[in-house]
Amino acid sequence: MTFAFPKGFLWGTATAAHQVEGGNTASDLWLMEWMKPSLFAEPSADACDHYHRYDGDIGLLAGLGFNTYRFSIEWARIEPEEGFFSKAALDHYRRVLASCHAQNILPMVTFHHFTAPLWFTRDGGWEDAKSVDRFVRYCEAAAAALGDLMPYGCTINEANIPQMITTMREISGRQPRPGGRRDRALTEAARLSGGVPGRFAPYLSGDGNKATPHLIAAHRKSYGAIKAKTNAKLGVTLSLTDYQAVEDGAALRDKVHHAINGQFLETLKGDDFIGVQTYSRALIGAHGIVPPPNSAERTQMGYEFYPEALEACIRFAAKESGCPTIVTENGIGTEDDTRRMEYTRRALSGVINCLKDGIDLRGYVHWSMLDNYEWLEGYRPKFGLIEVDRATQARRPKPTAYWLGEIARRNAVA
């Protein structure tokens, strides 16, 4: 049975600057990756050298059949010192955007994808109220320089993830030990960067309860600031897990949903779209997270292999936000590309079910284009549709890339 997707459906892949560009030396994480000891399995170093190879990479995508590329511009390159906006870095991103347009790829630009300039994180990061205006000032500069080439934009990638990490720690009772590895790394990073102990707050290791009000305000304010300088369709992306209640867990499940997603969803009404980013589900019992059954297949990240989560999360996001939806990330860390194809095939059946039910879903963007730097885990997890040889930087599309690209080209599944 064939299914035709709506005309103009976005078929893309995503990356984030720090994970693929290489040499992001003015960022907060660069310092933390090279410290000894480090929380990171290895440094990002040259990553996939996408900073220089973007044109060929975008060409590969186009050749495979995709029509959209979601990538982030790097704040740490654009504003490496507070108040200094690098024309050279902005020109670089103009060339990336121009390369997309020249190769019939629609660019979707994320303004913030986890990393930040070192000066920002050293001075409290998102936990400091100044973060809102600092971020808005950067967005204004970037939108003024790039806005005419930018049809789609995402303000903040997974703006709810600091809250998710904090809330999950609270409900599991597993708080990082004071004076433990994480604490020591943050104190050392503060020292190395000339900051004050206790203030060095990277996006993924900070306090979500403190950062979230600023992230919400930053989304709202930057949304208006970017709109004033572009015609881009704009949204925020959220990390959405399919929370399923088991063993009398309904009340806790609802509480978790409210804490992690509720405060964002309430503020999104009227946005051009909401970005749905889903990888798996979590089972919630009356007293906390219940591990998946022993028989469950796990991905390289340790999550349960559960592609059906995507359908549940699209339905949730559409209903709760009232916005059009775009899947801005969905994928799997695996060495076995046959499992990637199976995961994606089942995730796409969920996409089709949503479309058949009349949900306003505008696109599917797979994470990720390239095997890339998976943060704390280093280069071990393989999320890419395209394999990257770490020694030569040679690219080789995997079977799933050809298969998904063909669906994209036809805008239909057979």
Site for ligand BGC in 175-214 (CB under 6 A): none
Q: Are 350 and 26 in contact (CB under 8 A)?
A: no
Closest CB 16 distance from ligand BGC, rounded Å: 5
Minimum distance from CB of 147 to ligand BGC (Å)? Answer: 24
The answer to the question of residue 239 lying near ligand BGC (CB under 6 A) is yes
| Phi, psi at 408, each rounded to 5° | -60, -45
Q: Measuring CA to CA, how many Å separate 283 from each of 197, 241, 245, 291, 319?
A: 37, 10, 6, 7, 21
Q: Which two tokens stand for residue 410?
A: 């036809």
Judge contact between 321 and 297, C-beta under 8 A: no
Give residues 354-393 in contact with ligand BGC (rule: CB under 6 A): 367, 374, 383
- Nearest residue to ligand BGC, using CB? 16
Q: Which is nearer to ligand BGC, 16 or 109 (CB)?
A: 16
Task: Considering the complex, state which of residue 32 and residue 190 has its C-beta at the smaller distance from ligand BGC.
Answer: 32
Does 158 interact with ligand BGC (rule: CB under 6 A)? yes
> Residues 9 to 28: which contact ligand BGC by CB under 6 A?
16
CA distance 246 to 51: 46
Give the tokens for residue 119: 């000066």
28 in Cβ contact with 117 (< 8 Å):
yes
Measured from the CB atom, is 79 or 371 closer to ligand BGC?
371
257, 345 Cβ separation under 8 angstroms: no
Name the residue nearer to ligand BGC (CB basis): 29 or 78.
29
Q: How far is the CB of 203 from ligand BGC (least distance, A)?
A: 11
What residue type is 399 in one-letter code?
P
Please state the closest distance from residue 93 (CB atom) to ligand BGC, in A.
18
CA distance 201 to 82: 17
User: Of 20 and 143, which CB lies nearer to ligand BGC in the complex structure?
Assistant: 20
The minimum distance between CB 257 and ligand BGC, in angstroms, equals 18
Residues 327 to 356 in contact with ligand BGC, rule: CB under 6 A:
329
Output 54 or 71, the one with its CB closest to ligand BGC: 71
Q: Does 306 bind ligand BGC (CB under 6 A)?
A: no
Of 66, 269, 230, which Cα lies nearest the Cα of 152? 230
CB of 197 to ligand BGC, least distance (A): 28
C-beta of 5 vs 243, nearer to ligand BGC: 243
Helix pair angle (309-321, 337-356), 10° resolution: 40
| Nearest-approach distance from CB 168 to ligand BGC, in angstroms | 14
User: What contacts 278, CB < 8 A, 6 or more positions away?
Assistant: 239, 240, 241, 242, 309, 310, 313, 314, 327, 329, 330
> What is the C-alpha to C-alpha distance for residues 215 and 219, in angstroms, rounded to an integer?
6
The amino acid sitting at 68 is: T
Residues 241-280, mask of contacts with ligand BGC (x by CB under 6 A): ------------------------------------x---
User: Is the Cβ of residue 5 or residue 69 nearer to ligand BGC in the bound state?
Assistant: 69
Residues 6+ apart with CB under 8 A from 148: 230
Q: Interface residues with ligand BGC (CB under 6 A)?
A: 16, 157-158, 239, 277, 301, 329, 367, 374, 383
